[in-house]
Structure 1
Amino acid sequence: MTERHEVVNLAAKLAGFEDHWSPKIVAAFNGHDVMVVKVEGEFTWHEHAETDDFFLVLKGRLVIDLPEGAAVTLEPGEVFVVPRGVQHRPRAEEETHLLLIEPAGTPNTGDPATAAPKDRI
C-alpha cells in the first residue's frame, strides 16, 4: 500500500479561480469534501435536511442570515455551523473566501436540481 502525503495550499487554490458561489474541492477525508469558495453578494435562502453546514472565513466578512431576522457575522478565523434543517442565507458585501466541509455530494443549495457543480482543483 502506498501512502500519499499532500499539502494543500489554500491561498494558491483560491488564486486559481475567479467565480463566486462555486465551491472547489481541494481535499477529502472520511467521506467529506473540503472546499474553498469565493463569495460576494447574496446566496439563496436554503437548508440542508441531511447535514449541518460548516463555514470558516479565511478572508473578508460573511453574514449568515437566519430565521426570524437573526444573523451571524463571521470574521477571518471564525467558524459557524448551521444546524441541519435550519434555513439560512450567506451573504458578503465584499469578496470573501471560505473553507467549507460537508459530506461528499451535498448540494450547496440543499437541492441537487439548483446546486452549483463542485469541481476538484
Structure 2
Amino acid sequence: MTSHPTDLTAALASFDAVWSPRIVAAVNDYDVRLARFHGEHVWHVHEETDEFFLVLDGEIDIALREAGGERVVTVPERSVFVVPRGTFHKPSSREGAAVLLVEPAGTLSVGDRHETVPAHVDVTTGHALHAGGTGGGRP
C-alpha cells in the first residue's frame, strides 16, 4: 500500500488492456480495481461475494440471470450497481468504459463458475498498477 493519493486518470492512462483489471488500492480485505470494458465479458458467478461496479467513463450493460429470467441493467457514467452474490452476470460495453470495481482480495475476474472464457478476457485476481498510476495496489 502507499501513503499517497492515486490519480485515477493517470492510473487509467497506464494501461489499455480490456477485461484486465489493475489493483489501485486495498481496503481491509478488499481490492479496489480499475478496468477497461469493451465488447463482452463472460457469463460468470461469484458464489460468496457481491460485485460493486462504479462507471467512471462511458456506459456498461450487465446482463443478469435471475429467478424470473434474464434482464439487462444499463449503468451510465458516474453510476453504481451491485450484482448480488450468487447471480450469474455478464458485463459488456459497446463503446468502451472505465470501471472501478470493489471485490474481496483474490476474487477471480471470471468468478467461481463461468462459461467458456474468450481469449480477450484475462482470467486474473487483478494486476499490480505500474508506473504512471501513482501508488495503490498491494506490494
1:31/1:112 Cα in 2 relative to 1: closer, same or farther (>3 Å)? farther
> Residues 22 and 117 of structure 1 are in contact (CA less than 8 Å); yes or no, is this contact kept in structure 2?
no
Give, in angstroms, the shift of residue 30 of structure 1.
Answer: 0.6
Q: Unaligned stretches of 5+ in structure 1? A: none
Alignment of 1:20-31 (within 5 A): 20-31=18-29
| Percent identity for Structure 1 against Structure 2 | 44
Whole-angstrom distance in 1 between the partners of 2:56 and 2:89:
20
Please name the residue that 1:91 is paired with.
92
Consecutive aligned runs of 4 or more in structure 1 exceeding 4 Å deviation: none
The AA in structure 2 aligned to 1:30 is: N
Change (3 A) 1:112 1:47: closer
Corresponding residue SS for 1:12:
helix
Counterpart residue identity of residue 116, structure 1: T
SS at match of 1:96: strand
Q: Tell me, in whole angstroms, the C-alpha distance in 2 between the residues paired with 1:96 and 1:41.
A: 10
For residues 76 and 63 of structure 2, what CA distance do their matches in structure 1 show? 15
1:32-111 matched pairs, under 5 angstroms:
32-67=30-65, 68-111=69-112
Question: Which deviates more from structure 2 when the two are superposed, residues 11-20 or residues 65-74?
Answer: 65-74
In the comparison of the two structures, how many residue pairs are matched? 118
Taking structure 2 as the reference length, what is the TM-score of the superposition?
0.80
Equivalent in 111, 118, 121 of residue 126 of structure 2:
118
| Separation in 2, partners of 1:86, 1:117 | 19
Asked whether the 8 Å contact 1:42–1:91 carries over to 2, the reply is yes
User: How large is the RMSD of aligned CA atoms in angstroms?
Assistant: 1.7
Instruction: Please give the alpha-carbon distance, in whole angstroms, between the structure 1 residues aligned to 2:75 and 2:24.
Output: 22
Q: Secondary structure at the match of 1:65?
A: strand
Q: Show the counterpart of 1:7.
A: 5
Q: Return 5+ residue gaps in structure 2 as ranges.
A: 118-122, 130-139
